[in-house]
Amino acid sequence: MLDSLLSNHQSRIAWLIGLLTGMIAFTFQVIGFDLSYYPGDLGDGRLNLYFLEHGFQYICGNVKSYWNAPFMYPEPNVIAYSDNLLGTLPFYAAFRFMGMELYTAYQCWYILLSALNYGCAFLLFKHLFKNPWAAALGAFVFAFSLSMFSQMSHAQTFARFPIPLAFLMALKYSETIKVKYFIYALLILVYQIYCGIYLGFLLAIPLGIFLFIALLRNTIQNAESILNVKHLVGLVSGCALALLTLFPLLYPYTQRKIDPDPSHYQSILHSIPEIQSYLISHPGTLFWNFLSNKPNGMEAWWDHQLFVGFIALICMAITPLVLAYQFAQQSQNREKIIATVMLIATGLITGLIFLKFNQHTLYTWIYYLPGFSAMRSLTRIINIEILFFALSVSYIATQLLKKKVKTNFFIFSILVLILVCDNYVSADSVQREKIAAAEKRTLAIAPHYKKIPMNSVVSYEPDSMDAPIYAYQIDAMLLSQQFGMRTINAYTATSPTEFSMFWKSPNATSRNYWLSKNDIDFDTLYVIRSAEKLERIAAEEFRNFNPAAEERRLIEIQMNIMRKDEKWIQSIEAKAKEKGISLDSMLYLDAKWLLEQDKP
C-alpha cells in the first residue's frame, strides 16, 4: 500500500514533508508556536511593518500620498529613503482586509513568504532534475537555510520566491529559444525589485550572466534561430517592457540617488563577503557554535554569518567535480547535465564577483552600474547565492535517489533529518521580538495621541531613554500612523544631513534646527516628552530660529570638546601643518564636518 501511495503521490508527499519540516524547524522557531513573536528587532523589524501598514492605509484611502508618507515631516518622498515592499504588499493587505491586527498580519505575511520561497524553489529543481525528492531537499535549503537567520533583521529580504522563478523562465528560454520565456524572466526580475530593491538588483547580476551564457551557447549551436530579426526584436522589446514596468517604482528613487564615489565605495567595502564569511555561523546551532565567534577586525561581523551548513557547503564543493566527471563520461548524452553546468557556473561566477580578497574585489566594476552605488550591505548577496547552494544539494541528492520509490522515501527521510540538524537554530538565538513587549512600548504615551487632533504634527522627544534611539523614533512613527498624524520622528536607511541631529538626539534644539531648514504649513506642534508631559508649541518658535547662529554655537561646542582631547588635537595639528593652515581653521573644519555627517 505504501508503494502505491508513494508512486502515485510522490511529488505531493515530497513537497509536503519538506515544507512542513521547514515550517516547524525554521519559520515557527522565529514567530513561536504560540505566535507571540515577530521576526526582526525593534528597528528594521517594525520599520518594515510600518511600510506595509502604510501601503495598506494608502489602499484604503486613509493616506493621500504613498511616497510622501507622514514621517520625517515635512520632508517629501520619504519612502524612497528605504526599501518599500510594494511587491508583497497585496499579501499583507489581504490579511488586513480579513480583519487581522497589524502584527498578526505581519506574521501571516512572513509565513506565506516562507511557503512561497520553498514552493517556487521546488518547481525549479523538479523541472531541472525530474526528481521530486531531490527537489524537496534543495527547496528546503533555499527556504530554510541556517544562513538565512543572519538576514532576520532585514524583512525586505524575506520575499525570495521570484529568484527561482526567474531562473526557471531563463532555463526554459535556454531550452526552447522562445522569446516569451526571456520576457517572463525579465518581468519576474522586475517583480523581485518591487518585492525588495536590494535583492532585485543583486539578482540582475547572476540572471544576466545565465542569460548571456544561454544566448552565447544557442548562438553557437543554432545561430539562425538567435540572430534572425524576429528573435532579436523580441529580445529588445522584452528589455523595453521590463524597463517600462520598472519606471514607476524607480523614478522616485532617482531623486535620492547616490552617485558613485570613491569615498562612499570605501565605506561599503567592509560589507562585501570574504571567504571567511561563509565559515561564520549564526549562534545557537546544534553543531556549529564554534564557528560563531567574532572574527578579529571584521566590521558588522553579524551580517557576515553566511555559513550555509555543512551539507550545502560540501555539496557545492563537490558538485563541479561530479559534473566534470559526468561531462567527460557522457560524451553522447551531455544535454542532460548542460543546464546544471550552466547554473553552477553562474553561481560560481556570482560568488567570485561578490567576494573580497585583501580589500580587492571584482564588485568594484559592478558598483559603477546604475543603482548599485546606493547599496550599503552586500552580504545580502547570500539571499541569491543560497539558490546555487540549494541547487548543488538537489543535484547530489539525485545521485543518491535513483532506486525504487519506497527506497527513495526512506533515504529522503534520513536526508531531511540530517538537513534539519545541520541547519537548526534554537529559538533563544533567533533575532525576534515579543509582540507584547513592542506594543507595551507605546502604551504609556498613546493617550496623548488620542487627545491630539488628527493630521496634527507631532514630535516625540523623550526625557529619558533606556533603549536605542531608533526604537523611540519608530514608536513615534507607529503611533502617528495609528492615529492619523504627521510626525517629525523617522527611521530610514539614509536621511538629509539637516535631520541627522534630530535622529541622534531628538530635542528642542535639533528639532528647531530641522524645521527651520524647511517650509512648514502648521501653526502648532505637539511635543510629547513622557507619559505625563505634552506640550503645545507655536510655529513662530521655528520661524524665528536662526540656524546659522545655532550651527556656529554647535561648532564651538564641538571645538571645545576636541580641544580637551590631547590625541585628537595632536591629529588636528598634524593635518593643519600638512594643509598649511592655522590650527583654529583646521579645528573649525573638522568640527563642522563632524556635525554635518549623516546618521550611522
Percent of the chain with pLDDT over 90: 58
pLDDT category, 432, cuts 50, 70, 90?
A: very high
Helix, strand, coil percentages (3-state) for the chain, rounded to 5, are 70, 5, 25
> What predicted TM-score, i.e. pTM, was given to this entire model?
0.88
Average pLDDT on 171-177 reads 93
User: Is the pLDDT confidence value at 263 over 80?
Assistant: no
The mean predicted confidence, pLDDT, of the chain is: 89
Average pLDDT on 283-311 reads 88
Residue ranges in 257-381 assigned as alpha helix (H): 262-268, 310-329, 335-353, 363-367
Residue 444 pLDDT = 87
Rounded Cα distance between 311 and 345, Å, is 20
User: Is the pLDDT confidence value at 404 over 70?
Assistant: no
Percent of the chain with pLDDT over 70: 94
User: Is the pLDDT confidence value at 547 over 80?
Assistant: no
Q: 318: closest CA among 412, 217, 396?
A: 396
pLDDT category, 108, cuts 50, 70, 90?
A: very high
User: Is the pLDDT confidence value at 214 over 80?
Assistant: yes
Residue 33 pLDDT = 93
Q: Parallel, antiparallel, or unpaired: how do β-strands 457-460 and 524-528 relate?
A: parallel
CA 580, 581, 583, 586 dihedral sign is negative
Residue ranges in 424-544 assigned as alpha helix (H): 435-443, 446-451, 469-483, 500-504, 508-516, 540-543
User: Is the pLDDT confidence value at 219 over 80?
Assistant: yes
Average pLDDT on 187-196 reads 96
Residue 175 pLDDT = 92
Beta-bridged to residue 38, according to DSSP, are 433
Contact 144, 26 (CB under 8 A): yes
The secondary structure element, H or E, covering residue 584 is: helix 583-596
User: Is the pLDDT confidence value at 550 over 70?
Assistant: no
Average pLDDT on 205-220 reads 94
Reported as a single tens digit per residue, the pLDDT across 560-581 is: 888 887 878 888 888 888 888 8
Average pLDDT on 307-323 reads 95
Q: How many residues does the chain have?
A: 600
Average pLDDT on 304-328 reads 92
User: Is the pLDDT confidence value at 541 over 50?
Assistant: yes
Residue 566 is placed in which grid cell? 590631547
Average pLDDT on 200-223 reads 93
Min mean pLDDT across 80-89, 169-178, 451-460, 583-592 is at 583-592
Residue 600 pLDDT = 35
CA distance from start to end of the chain: 62
Reported as a single tens digit per residue, the pLDDT across 363-399 is: 989 888 888 887 888 999 999 999 999 999 999 999 8
Residue 546 pLDDT = 62
Domain 436-546 coded CATH 1.10.3470: no
User: Is the pLDDT confidence value at 295 over 90?
Assistant: no
Reported as a single tens digit per residue, the pLDDT across 123-160 is: 999 999 999 999 999 999 999 999 999 888 888 999 99
Per domain, the residue ranges of the chain are 2-34+83-429, 436-546, 548-596
460 vs 552: which has the higher pLDDT:
460
DSSP conformational letter for 371: T
pLDDT category, 599, cuts 50, 70, 90?
A: very low
Residue 473 is placed in which grid cell? 523614533
User: Is the pLDDT confidence value at 584 over 90?
Assistant: no
